[in-house]
Amino acid sequence: MRKTCVVGVLVAAVFLGGCSSQGSSGSSGQQSSSSPAAPVVGASGSSSGAEDNDRYGHYGEPANSPGPGAYAGWSKEEQKTATEFAVSSMRIFAMKTDAKTWHLYMDPRVTDGYKKQLERYNPQYGSVNTVYQAVYTEFPPDAKKAVVRVETDAGVWVVHLQREGAGEAPKVALIEPLTLKKG
């Protein structure tokens, strides 16, 4: 029994002595071959993104996803301006004039693709005579497209707006009837 206790005390002393031989930093000069190094797990982004963040905590924002400012959307002022632009574009669209004058006013307001569609449009055959007001607007967060529904004497028409990005002036991408009044 005495030999067993002495052997147990010696094993414990050797074990504790090995643990205490590490320096004050907690690492010995050599890596033990019996204990593999723990794998380093981290985000795929740079270390600069590893700051405290309201949304992602101490992990930081992922480097491959855009931040909250990337999709600025339409500001209130831009929405008001775009709505007025859509209503005035609808008024020009409804003008009863010759084709040359109509294109002189309408062409600068439309996208290149829609301008090509309108090349043979004759404003004399349009069904809208009076444009009243915008009755519905839709401004998605991507800041490139918007939809404005405009009330006319011929029903509600939809003006699709498109722009290059936030802060840019919109252009008309399409004007189409939503409903037509039967007359």
Question: Could you tell me if 132 and 152 are in contact, meaning their C-beta atoms sit under 8 angstroms apart?
Answer: yes
Locate 110 and state its tokens.
Answer: 């439309």
Residue 134 clears pLDDT 90, i.e. is over it: yes
Separation of alpha carbons 111 and 94, rounded Å: 18
Contacts of 105 (CB under 8 A, 6+ apart): 92, 95
**pTM for this predicted structure:** 0.61
Yes or no: say if 157 and 90 are a contact pair by the CB < 8 Å rule: yes
Residues of the chain with pLDDT > 70: what percent?
60
Mean pLDDT value of segment 140-162: 95
Phi and psi, residue 25, nearest 5°: -80, -5
Per mean pLDDT, which range of 31-35, 55-59, 115-119, 160-164 is the poorest? 31-35
User: What pLDDT score does 88 carry?
Assistant: 98
Instruction: Please classify residue 110 by burial: count the beta carbons closer than 10 Å to its beta carbon, then call 0-12 exposed, 13-18 middle and 19+ buried.
Output: buried
Range among 41-45, 63-67, 120-124, 147-151 with highest mean pLDDT value:
147-151
Where are the domains positioned within the chain? 76-177
Residue 153's nearest CA partner among 124, 133, 174 is 133
How open is the CA angle 182-132-89, to the nearest 5 degrees?
105
pLDDT at 50: 54
Distance CA 38, CA 43 (A): 16
Contacts (Cβ under 8 Å, ≥6 apart) of 137: 79, 82, 83, 146, 147, 148, 149
Sorting pLDDT into bands at 50, 70 and 90, what band is 165? confident
